[in-house]
Amino acid sequence: MDIVVKDAIIPELQSTNRDGAIAELIDSLVAANCVTEDQRDEFVKAIIRRENKGSTGFGHGVAVPHVKDLDIKTMHIAIGNSPEGIDFKALDGDHVYSIVLLLSPEDQPENHLDAMEAIFSSLSQDTFRRFLRQARSSDDVLTLLTETDNAVR
At 148 the pLDDT is: 83
At 34 the pLDDT is: 95
Q: Which of 66, 76, 95, 112 is catalytic?
A: 66
Digit-coded pLDDT (tens) for 41-85 = 999 999 999 999 999 998 999 999 999 999 899 999 999 999 999
At 46 the pLDDT is: 95
Q: How far apart are CA 56 and CA 108, in angstroms?
A: 20
At 16 the pLDDT is: 95
Digit-coded pLDDT (tens) for 115-132 = 999 899 899 999 999 999
pTM: 0.94
At 131 the pLDDT is: 94
**Amino acid identity, position 112:** H
At 150 the pLDDT is: 75
At 142 the pLDDT is: 92
| Mean pLDDT estimate for the chain | 93
At 90 the pLDDT is: 93
Q: Is 66 a catalytic residue?
A: yes
Instruction: Say which CATH number the domain at 147 has.
Output: 3.40.930.10
The larger pLDDT score, comparing residue 148 to residue 50, is at 50
At 57 the pLDDT is: 93
The residues near 119 (Cβ < 8 Å, ≥ 6 apart) are: 64, 77, 100, 102
Number of domains the chain contains: 1
At 36 the pLDDT is: 94
- For residue 34, give its domain range: 4-152
At 153 the pLDDT is: 55
Q: How far is CA 35 from CA 31, 58, 97, 107, 114, in A?
A: 8, 26, 24, 17, 22
Q: How far apart are CA 153 and CA 47, in angstroms?
A: 31
Residue 127 φ then ψ, to 5°: -60, -45
